[in-house]
Chains A and B, each alone.
Chain A
Amino acid sequence: MSTEFRALKRYAVPQQFALLILAALTWYPFLFLLATSVKSPNQFFENYWWFTFPFDWANYAQVWPKVSVAILNSAQYSFGTLVIVLILSLLGGYTFGRMKFPGKNVAFLCVVALLMIPGVLTLVPLFVEVKALKLLGTPWALILPFAGFEIVIGIYIMRLFFERLPGELFQAARIEGANEVQLLLFVALPLALPGLGTVAILDLLFTWNELLWPLITVGDATKMPVAVAALGFKGEHQVDYGALFAAYVSVSIPLMVIFVAVVRKFIKGIEGI
C-alpha cells in the first residue's frame, strides 16, 4: 500500500479542496432552493443568499394539495412501469444470459440495436399508435411506451449479471429436478435482486424525468406526473418564489428519500456495468 499512493498522498489536501469547490457549486443552487422555500416574501428580500429564521412553512401548506396529486400520479406511472420493466428484464436477462437456443445472438442484437433508435424518431408514430389502441387517457399510455424504452437497458444489464453468476448454482438445481420455471423463480430471481435493484433505480430516474411524452399524451391537468406539473407551478406562482420553490422541493423529495437509502448499492451496481 505504501508505495502505490505515496506520491498521490502529497496532493490529497489541494485535491480535497478542489472537490469541496465542485461540491459547493453543485449543491449551492439546491440549498438556495431549499432556503427560499421556507421564507416568507419579506424574508426573501431581507436575506437573499442564505437561510433565514424562523422557517416559514406556509409555502409548503399552500402548494401541498397540487403537489400531492402530482406525486401520486407519478407514483402510479412509476410503479406500473417498474413492475413490467422488472419482470421483462428478468425474463430477457435470464434467457439471454443462461440459456442456449438457436438465433440467440440475432435476437439479442435485435434488442440492443434499439439503443440506437432515438425516442424522437418514434415520437409521432408512437403517439398515433397509442391513440389508435385507445390507450390515451389511461395510465397505460405512459406505462407501456416507457417500459418499451427501459427494458432494453434492463435486459442488457440483467444479461451481464446472469452471465457472471457461477453455472454450478443452476446445474445443481437442474440435477435436483427443477424445471425451467422453478429455476427462474427459485434460483435466478433471488440471485438477481442486486441487478434488479440497479435496473429499478435507472427505471425510476427515467420515469420521473420524462417530460415530452406525458406533455403530449396526458390531456388532463390533474393526471400530470411531477415533471409536467412542476411547469404548471411556475405559471401559477409567477414571482412568489417561496411557494414556487416549495413545490419544486416537494416533488423532488420522494425519489430522493428512496435514492439516499440505496445509493451505495446503486454506485456498486453502476460499477458492474
Chain B
Amino acid sequence: MTSVAIEQASVSVPRSRLRLTSRWVPFLFLLPVAAELIIFRYIPTFSAFYHSLTNWDGRKKDAFIGFKNFTDLFNDNVFRDAFVNMAKYTSLRTIAVLLFAFIAAELIFSIRNERVRMFWKIAFVIPLVVPRSVIYLMWAFIYDPQVGLINEALNLIGLGAWQQPWLGQSSTALGALAFIGFPFVSSLAFLIFVASLEGLPRDIIETAQLEGCSIWKRIWNVDLPMLRGGIVFVAVLLILEGLQTTEPQLILTRGGPGTSTELPAYYLYRTAFDYGKFGQACAVGVVMLGVGLIFTAISMWLRYRSAYDVD
C-alpha cells in the first residue's frame, strides 16, 4: 500500500497531496466534537456504570461491592415510593400535555387564514422562554394556601370550603405538581403537532371533506394515525423529562410532605449531595437509564409496527 502511494505521489504531487489532506479533513473537523463529547458525556457515563458497583463517596478510594447498591435501593421504602410516584407523575403529565397540545394544535389547524394561525402560534409560544424556575415559583404562589390564585378564585365563586393547602398535604401534592404549567399549550409538543398537521397531504384532507367525513371522524381516522410519528416522538421526550424531574422538588416540596412527592432523580441528588453516597447515586442513575430505555423501546415499537406512516 505505502509503496503504491509513494509511486503515485511521485507522478503527480499536488493531486495526491490534495487527496491525502481531504481524506483527513472529516476527522479533523470532528476532532473538537469528539473531544467535547468524550470528556463531558462518555467518560461520565462509563464512570457512572462502573461506580454504581462500588461504595464510592468521592473522597476515599472506592471498593467493588457488586450489586449491593441496587439491592439496597429496592429495599429502601423511600426509593420505592419515589418509583411509584414517578410512574404516576410521568404518566399523568405526559397524557395531559399530549392531550392539551393536540387539542390546541387541531384548533389552530382548523383556521384557514395563515396569518391568524401564526398569531395563535406566537401567542402560545412566547411564554416558553420564561425561565422554568420562575414558572415553578409562580405556581408556588398559585398554590399558596393564604393568598394563592386558586384558593382566592375558589373563594370568589363561593367555594371557599374547597380551599386546600395544595402542596402542603400528601393527598394533593403530587397531583398539584403534575398540574403545573396548565393548560400545557406553551410547549415544544404543541409546536411539533401544529407543524405535523400543517404538513399533512392536502389531498387526503380534501378527500375526507368531499366524502362527507365529519371533523371528529377525520381527526380520529386521518390526523391521529398520520401524526403517530410526531406523537410518539413527543411522548418519548416528555417521558424522559418526567423521569429526570428534580426542579419542583428543589423549588417547592423537597419531596414532601412525607415521601408524597419524592421522585427518583431528586432521590439521586440527595443521596449524592446530602448523604455523600456517590456509588449509590450512580446506581439510581443506572436504574433510571434502564426505565428510559424500556419506555423508548416501547414507543419505537408503537411507532413502527404499522404502515400508516407517511414520513
Contact = CB atoms under 8 A, between A and B. Distances in A.
Given A147-B36, A270-B188, A122 B41 contact: yes
Interface of B: 21-23, 25-27, 29-30, 32-33, 36-37, 39-45, 47-48, 51, 58, 100, 103-104, 107-108, 110-112, 118, 120-134, 137-142, 147, 149, 152, 182-183, 185-186, 188, 191-192, 195, 198-199, 202, 205-206, 209-210, 215, 240, 243-244, 246-247, 250-251, 265, 268-269, 272-273, 278, 281-282, 284-286, 288-289, 292-293, 296
B11 to A, nearest CB: 21
A193 interface: no
A120 B121 CA distance: 32
7 contacts: A5-B112, A16-B111, A23-B124, A99-B29, A118-B244, A248-B138, A271-B191
A19 interface: yes
A124 B272 contact: yes
B133 A231 contact: yes
A78 to B, nearest CB: 12
A91 B32 contact: yes
Contacts of B137: 230-231, 234, 248
Contacts of B296: 116
Contacts of B195: 270-271
Given A15-B111, A147-B40, A129 B247 contact: no
Contact of B131 (A6, A125, A251): A251
A111 B33 contact: yes
Ordered nearest first, which 10 A-B pairs have the shortest CB separation? Answer: A148-B40, A121-B285, A125-B47, A122-B44, A271-B195, A125-B44, A101-B26, A126-B44, A180-B25, A227-B133
B29 A226 contact: no
A29 to B, nearest CB: 6
Nearest to B122: A263
A127 to B, nearest CB: 8
Contacts of A12: 110-112
B282 A124 contact: yes
Given A15-B110, A18-B107, A94-B29, A211 B133 contact: yes
A65 B137 CA distance: 20
Interface string A33-72: 1000000000000001100000000000000000000000
* Most chain A beta carbons < 10 A, residue from B138, B142, B198: B138
B247 A211 contact: yes
B41 A114 contact: yes
A225 to B, nearest CB: 9
Contacts, number: 264
A118 B137 CA distance: 25
Contacts of A147: 36, 40
A240 B101 CA distance: 35
Nearest to B198: A271
Given A118-B285, A270-B188, A271-B195, 15 more contacts: A3-B209, A11-B215, A19-B104, A19-B108, A23-B123, A27-B123, A92-B33, A122-B45, A124-B268, A126-B40, A184-B29, A230-B133, A251-B134, A252-B134, A256-B130
| Size category of the binding interface on chain A | 35 or more
Interface in A101-153: 101, 104, 107, 110-111, 114, 116-129, 144-145, 147-149, 151-152
A172 interface: no
B30 A118 contact: no
Contact of A25 (B29, B118, B182): B182
Contact of A212 (B104, B215, B269, B286): B269
Contacts of B29: 91-92, 94-95, 99, 180, 184
Nearest to B247: A211
A144 B30 contact: no
B154 to A, nearest CB: 13
Nearest to B243: A118
Interface string A1-35: 00111111101100110110011011101101100
A187 interface: no
Nearest to B188: A270
Given A92-B33, A231-B137, A264-B118, A11 B110 contact: yes
B41 A148 contact: yes
A7 B281 CA distance: 57
Contacts of A77: none
A13 B11 CA distance: 77
